[in-house]
């Protein structure tokens, strides 16, 4: 049970091709409410796991980067920006990359020679796992641009690593056939993070 909670939504989940294939088929008939609920569950799980690994990652990264330039906390952006606007915009953008990659993969299957299509590398590159990892890596890298803005360089690098370790939203997009579940998960995670930062600020 504990192992499943740690794996769900993580990079280990994304690398499990058999599991992804099974979930894609199982989630075809999910209703809107079920997709929202599934997204919220994944969001809670993602938040809990990230809460444990973030201090560890940040401690290591802060030894490399100067963490004294932490200008503003993320909470200063406001609950609407963090909990609603950011998840909708970010997941909508990610969906364009997913669709673009899927179209590219379909085209590659049509034009690539048969001997090339039989290789393990080609099969892997056209599988949902590859799309999840590619889109999530891009999504994580974009967060490095926040360094020196509302968070320190160490904070930005930590966030990037954390996202790469938990490609939760990309997994949900590929396995639930749409944006509803990843947006729900992203909102849940961000709102919990917002609340946690508020509590930490009040206690400090």
Q: Please answer whether residues 47 and 40 qualify as being in contact, where contact means their C-beta atoms are separated by less than 8 angstroms.
A: no
pLDDT attached to residue 67: 52
C-alpha to C-alpha distance for 47 and 166, rounded to whole angstroms = 10
Low pLDDT (below 50) residues in the chain: 69-75
Determine the pLDDT at residue 153.
83
pLDDT of residue 66: 58
pLDDT value for 81: 87
CA separation for the pair 67, 198 (Å, rounded): 20
pLDDT in tens, 80-110: 988 999 999 999 999 999 999 999 989 998 9
**Token reading at 173:** 């997009």
What is d(CA 37, CA 22) in angstroms, rounded to the nearest whole number? 19
Predicted confidence (pLDDT) per residue in 8-23, tens digit? 999 999 999 999 999 9
pTM of the model: 0.89
**pLDDT for 71:** 43
Contact residues for 38 (Cβ-Cβ < 8 A; gap 6+): 27, 30, 172, 176, 181, 184
């Amino acid at each position: 049970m504990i192992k499943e909670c740690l794996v769900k939504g993580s990079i280990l989940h994304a690398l499990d091709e058999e599991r992804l294939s099974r979930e894609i088929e199982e989630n075809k008939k999910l209703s809107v409410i079920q997709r929202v609920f599934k997204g919220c569950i994944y969001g809670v799980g993602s938040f809990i796991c990230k809460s444990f690994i973030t201090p560890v990652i940040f401690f290591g990264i802060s030894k490399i980067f100067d963490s004294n330039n932490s200008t503003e906390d993320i909470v200063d952006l406001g609950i609407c920006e963090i909990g609603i606007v950011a998840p909708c915009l970010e997941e909508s953008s990610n969906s364009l990359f997913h669709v673009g990659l899927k179209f590219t993969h379909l085209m590659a299957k049509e034009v690539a020679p048969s001997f090339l299509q039989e290789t393990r590398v080609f099969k892997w590159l056209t599988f949902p796992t590859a799309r999840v990892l590619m889109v999530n890596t891009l999504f994580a890298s974009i967060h490095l641009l926040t360094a020196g803005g509302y968070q320190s360089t160490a904070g930005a690098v930590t966030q990037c690593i954390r996202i790469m370790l938990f490609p939760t939203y990309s997994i949900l997009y590929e396995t639930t056939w749409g944006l509803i579940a990843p947006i729900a998960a992203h909102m849940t995670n961000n709102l919990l993070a917002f609340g946690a930062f508020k509590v930490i600020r009040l206690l400090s």
